[in-house]
Every structure is written in C-alpha cells, then in structure tokens.
Structure 1
C-alpha cells in the first residue's frame, strides 16, 4: 500500500476522533483554571396574588360601615325603649282617667323600677295620689316638680295643686293655684272650668261667669261645663239661661231637682258668710 494512501486514512481517523472534543468544547463554556464553579441559580416559582389583602382605604371603609351599623343598632334600641316607656305612661294615664288610680300607682312603681322616675311619671304619680285622697303625699310630689328645670311645663302642676286645695276645702288657695295654672297654660280647659266653679262657690259672680264661658267655648259645649253654667244661672237668678241649658242637655226632672238643690245649698252658704251678690 502506498504511503500516500496510508497518510490519507490516518488523517481521516484523526479527524473523527477530534470531532467529539470540538463538539464538547462548544457545548461547555470554558472556565479559568482553579475558578470556582458558578452557583446554581435558585428555582423560582411565580407567586399567586393575595386575594384577601385590602388596601388602607378599603379597611377604613369597612370600619366606617361597621361603626354605622353599630350606631344604627344603638339608635334602634333607644327608639324601642322610648316607645315602651311612652306606651307604659299612656296606660297609666288611661287608668287614672278611668278612676283606677290605685292600679296606676302599682304600674308607676313598675315603671320607676325599670326605667327610673322622670318628670312625666312623677306628674302621673301625684295625680294618682290625689285621686286616691293621699293629699299630703300628692302635694309633696307636685311641689317637687316646681323646682329646678321645667318651669315652662308647670301648668299641670299648678292645676294639680289647685285640685288638692279644692279637696281640702281651701277655696282661696285653690283659686290662686288655678290662676297660676292658667297663666302658664292659657288653654287648660279643666283649669278654667274648676276655677270658674271656685269663683262661683266664693260668690264672685262676674269672674265665675267669664271663666266658665271661656271653658265652655274652648271645650265646644262640654256637658260638665254647661252644667256648671246652669248652676251659675240658678245661683245668680238667671233662670232663663239655666232652663235653656237644662233643655239642651235633656236633663231629667231628677237631674233638674239635684242641680236646683245644689244651687240652694250654695245660696245658703252665701247667707251664712254674709256674701253680697
């Protein structure tokens, strides 16, 4: 075999051996001698968004909404309590008007125990005590309402004190107190009616008529007030007015006789005191 052929074969073998080395050199970066191997890069995974996180603005809104709900709950509780108190006091007022004053006092004890006494409950208590003839206690409660705040609401208090004086037969004191009641509350029909009757019993003809007429017109012809006007007519000899009222109220003969007897009793009282008409 010729030397040229052998040389060509040897060159091809050498090239085939060198090819893997070249490929390996291309795939692996060269490092400087004794250089440390680079640290492997840590594997990273994408983080999931935190769907429960809220911004400061959202936190403030949530807190404000919570406080608003708490405030509404508190307002609801207060409104419910106020309704219960008012209903309880209305029940007591109805009892007094229906002459169940002893039951009214028991309910007022329960009211004070649950809610604590207030101006309105004290007023009702004084009225109930007066209705049950506990006059000394009633007067003490009435007078306690005249001190401190609420002077502008003292009309009913003076009226109650006037009624206490009437029950005691102290007509002069009754007149003074009822006059004060009207000064504070010029539209108190009951105060006009009772004051007119006090004037009548005291023999004050004109003041009695004027006061009873105010009560009558304010009450649009209340039968009780009209009866007092008829009594005034009989006492002061205005029989036409007395008979006209008796006819309008359709009094029976028995009622007419009772009112006439009452008028005669008042006249005899005048005579005993030396009253002049």
Structure 2
C-alpha cells in the first residue's frame, strides 16, 4: 500500500523524515528526539507510528496547552521523563514602560538570529509578560546573541517549566454551506469576503494551511485542516457534514477566539 496516498503531496518530505526516525528507533533500539513539530506534523507522525509495537511515541512542549511540541520516539523498554525533551523556558525582560512587544516581534527577532523555526516552540504572551520555549541545545547561542528586539535592549531569564504561562484555546464554532471544499471558497466563507478578495489574499502570501504558506486556491480542504489568514486569525475545519439536496457542502468551522 502506498502510504503517501493518505497525505498531501507537499507533506512527502516530512513523511520521509518521520519514517527514517521510526526506523532508526527500531534498528538501534534507542530513543529519538525530534525538533519542535506543529500540530499537523504531530498528527502525521502519530498516524505513521500507529500500532507499531517496536516504536512508541509521546509529545511534550512545556505544557499540555501549547501547540508546538517535540516528539520522543522510543522502544518499549524505555520510560520517558520530562528531561528527555530538552526544553528550556525563557522570560523576556524589556523596558515595558517605553515599548510594547508582541508575538510577531519575538518571532521575527528569533528568526533574524538565523535560528530554524523548528528549534523553538510556542511564544506565550500574557499582558506584558512574554515567554518562549526553546530547544536546550541552542541555549548558549541564545544567551550570546539575543540582546535586542527592534531598537529595544532585552535580556532573557531561564524559568522552571512550572512557571509557564498557560492559556487554553477557545474555538467558536460556526456552520456554513459552501459550493465546494476548495480553499478559496472556504476562505471567502470564513473571512466574509468575496471569493475574488480571498484569491487576492492567497496571491499576497497571507494564507497558511496546516502552518505552511500556500497560494493554491484550488486546494481541496479536509476535516481537521487549520487555516491561518493574516489579519483575520485562525480557523479549523471541525467537521464536514455531507451535502445538501442542492449538492452543497455543510461544514463546521471553529474560529480561534
């Protein structure tokens, strides 16, 4: 059976990596820790491990509420511990009276240091308090290089994972009737824009499906897909409930509050 038929073509590269991790655990009989995975990658890896007796799987990213998590694939004799995930929680200190920092500022600064997105997890904002989680192996690099965000001088302080900001996700569910499951059609429904304007957002690179940028308005969406639209927030296809008598699709979409 062709395993790739169950996934999108653009997911093949990740699937190949994941199959390599699983095989290494089985061959070497030792655990394998991945970088941070987004929720879609976690879902794929979970499906690939399936009922493998020789390879088990757990995810952890600092708390149960975070999105991005590292995966530990391990043989049946191994008992995972929190320390195995090699996570470090940081708090950012900055002159709060004079500047305002947001999620995008932190993300942009970390990326500008030359770090791969896979090396850090969620960025957590609670009022003026900002934390982020990173792979422990980049601690020395962060400490030596993270000194500014924009024009502001900043510093980072290590915290215990017990001090992590915990924010629960809330999804507001709405029902729609749409002519097809094409991405541009669903974007128009979710954003309450015309299909033409939805296509403009796609062409401008403002759309992500399952955390990856796309310009393919003709892509057929599936149950469980996450749609991110810059300026409009995030939505998740909670269920596809079949067709009406007029051959239109009934779907439920959750919008992140």
TM-score between the two structures when normalised by the length of structure 2: 0.26
Specify the structure having the higher radius of gyration (Cα).
1
Which structure has more RCO (C-alpha within 8 Å, separation ≥ 6)? 2
